[in-house]
A and B are shown apart, each in its own frame.
Chain A
Amino acid sequence: MRQMVRATLQSAGYDVVEAADGQEALEFARGKAVDLVISDVNMPRMDGITLVHELRALPGYRLTPLLLLTTESSQDKKQEGKRAGATGWIVKPFNPAQLLTTLTKLFGNS
């Protein structure tokens, strides 16, 4: 799935950095800020909702768009993601063109 997200973003000219799971992403984020985070919810070591919560506690990530991309469509999980500080919730399979339109909206509004 990471390959597919990366291909979509790179085809539109975005630079992409990947992490294998939430823990690795958090360790990267502690050293460097990025413009956007797209994370799965179900991951080993640290899930996406915990990652969002941890990222929001970092000074460089208070306003960063954090999108959760998941097969999980239940309202409870979505609300959990929202409470953790996620900016948006995308249910897989994602439409590449729609994802790029969403990013344009996010960056256009910031």
Chain B
Amino acid sequence: MTLPIPLPPLLELAAAQLEVALQNSNSQVERLAGSVAAFAKLGAEMCANEDPAVAAQGVRVAAEAQRALFAMQFHDALAQRMQHVRDALGDMHDALAAPVPPSAAALLAVIRARYTMEDERRLFDVVLGSVPGAPASNADSEHEALRGSVELF
């Protein structure tokens, strides 16, 4: 089937829409993070107060701020995922516009190599099949266990 409109401008448009969405959300999250940072600092200052009641409130404020800082990291993962989709759209646009287009396998390998999260690799493999030579994704349980982990070498 041939589309009645050329595909490259549509891919470019989709990538541009994602870019605008990323920029808008980044500025709002920056503002929100600044507010939570101010609460975290206030909580730390209250913790050092001589009045035990104020210090106790400070512990609660600091703990709530830490919970908020943890929860807000959803945006970082979301933004990375959107960037990878945007970049994949760009890769497809460039491939279609190239005088000698790359092979489908080469294009898919480039797109998969951009991923930084196991969720992304697993989804790619489920939908498109594994790419020859690409590292296998971790098992679900292994990946979940690694979230938030700290390993000192």
Contacts and interface: CB of A to CB of B under 8 A. Distances in A.
Given A3-B29, A3-B37, A11-B66, 17 more contacts: A3-B30, A4-B33, A4-B37, A8-B40, A10-B41, A11-B40, A11-B43, A13-B44, A41-B116, A42-B80, A73-B147, A74-B118, A76-B135, A86-B153, A88-B151, A90-B149, A102-B150
Interface of B: 29-30, 33-34, 36-37, 40-41, 43-44, 62, 65-66, 69-70, 72-74, 76-77, 80, 116-118, 135, 137-138, 143, 146-153
Interface stretch (A25-33, A55-63, A92-100): A92-100
B69 A72 contact: no
Contacts of A90: 149-151
A1 interface: yes
B128 to A, nearest CB: 19
B26 to A, nearest CB: 10
A8 B147 CA distance: 18
Nearest to A66: B153
A99 B116 CA distance: 21
Given A7-B40, A91-B147, A72 B152 contact: no
Interface string A2-34: 011011101111000000000000000000000
Interface of A: 1, 3-4, 6-8, 10-13, 41-42, 70-74, 76, 78, 82, 86-99, 102, 105-106
Contacts of B118: 73-74
Secondary structure call for the A interface: mixed
Contacts of A87: 152-153
A90 B76 CA distance: 15
Contacts of A72: 116-117
A4 B77 CA distance: 14
Which 6 residue pairs of A and B lie closest in terms of their CB atoms, listed nearest first?
A: A7-B37, A3-B33, A93-B73, A11-B40, A73-B146, A96-B66
